[in-house]
Amino acid sequence: MHDVATPPLRIAVAGSSGRMGRMLIEAIAATSDCRLAAAFDHAESPTIGQDAGSPLGFATGVTVTSDLDAGLQDAQCLIDFTRPEGTLNHLDMCLRHGVAMVIGTTGFDAPGLQRIRAASEQIPIVMAPNMSIGVNVVLKLLEQAGRALADGYDIEIIEAHHRHKVDAPSGTALKMGEVVAQAAGRNLERDAVWARHGHTGERQTGSIGFSVIRGGDIVGDHTVLFAGSGERIEITHKSSSRATYASGSLRAARFLAGKRSGLYDMQAVLGLTS
């Protein structure tokens, strides 16, 4: 009796000409268990009508299109690292076709997040502000540190990204703040300090400070500092390549295969959820 080979997972990529889109297409091409099913870009993109692998120097056999309705018919999962308004449009189309989603887009407002939660009752979705496996291990460490260092330690979150990033603080920095605040018994909405300028007075006990750096081609650096009396603890993650986000995204897509619905994060994908 011969084993029947499992067919490759058919993945569509939104924003295929962007930095993450190109990285995802390259990562999919390097796997044996995934294949590119569709590549999408906005209608004005010069890549429309070209092979999705052209900017990378190889052929995929998939033509870049702006027609999600047609392109999603052969896809099992859409990976989306675009903008909130684009992702929400893509969400509606995935609902129509019953296609799973991996969402790495950040910057959603409350109504946008609610639309994603509602959609997850019909299709399976992994949504995370950072798809890096390392970052998600760091989030688990921060949960432990936040619980142990809740008293007597000031918490500061410092993040750095490239000059083209449009939202601040990063979605990853916000997630780190949420994890630490919850573990330490604090309320991020109440205790966050987003900016300091001029005569600020002494640091308020229990506050969580955020500092943002934008410049050059920094892929993404995040540090959470726990500053106590006589010591400080720093938990840092530095990305040198978006390839880590791409490999994490493919792991998320594999995780969703066979699931009917549900909203998951990368902690669930990696088996770190208690």
pLDDT single digits (tens) 89-116 = 999 999 999 999 999 998 899 999 999 9
pLDDT > 90? residue 1? no
pTM (predicted TM-score) = 0.82
What pLDDT is recorded for position 129?
Answer: 86
Give span(s): CATH 3.30.360.10, the chain.
Answer: 133-239
**53 close to 59: Cβ distance less than 8 angstroms:** yes
Q: Which residue has better confidence, 241 or 153?
A: 153
pLDDT single digits (tens) 169-202: 998 999 999 999 999 999 999 999 999 999 999 9
Q: What is the CATH number of domain 133-239?
A: 3.30.360.10
pLDDT single digits (tens) 109-166: 999 999 999 999 999 999 998 899 999 999 999 999 999 999 999 999 999 999 999 9
Active-site residue flag, 161: yes
- Interacting residues of 168 by C-beta distance below 8 A, sequence separation 6+: 212, 214
**Strands (E) located in 72-123:** 77-80, 100-103
Q: Which of 2, 97, 140, 161 is catalytic?
A: 161
Q: What is the rounded distance in angstroms from the CA atom of residue 132 to the CA atom of residue 89? A: 25
Structure tokens, 228: 């106590």
Give the pLDDT band of residue 2 (cuts 50, 70, 90). Answer: low
The b/e string for 149-175 (b: 16+ C-beta within 10 A; e otherwise) is bbeebbbbbbbbbeeeeeeebbbbbbb
pLDDT single digits (tens) 29-70: 999 999 999 999 999 999 999 999 999 999 999 999 999 999
Q: Which of 90, 97, 140, 165 is catalytic?
A: 165
> Which CATH number does the domain 9-127+242-269 belong to among 3.40.50.720, 3.40.190.10, 3.30.420.10, 3.40.640.10?
3.40.50.720
Give span(s): CATH 3.40.50.720, the chain.
Answer: 9-127+242-269
**157 close to 208: Cβ distance less than 8 angstroms:** yes
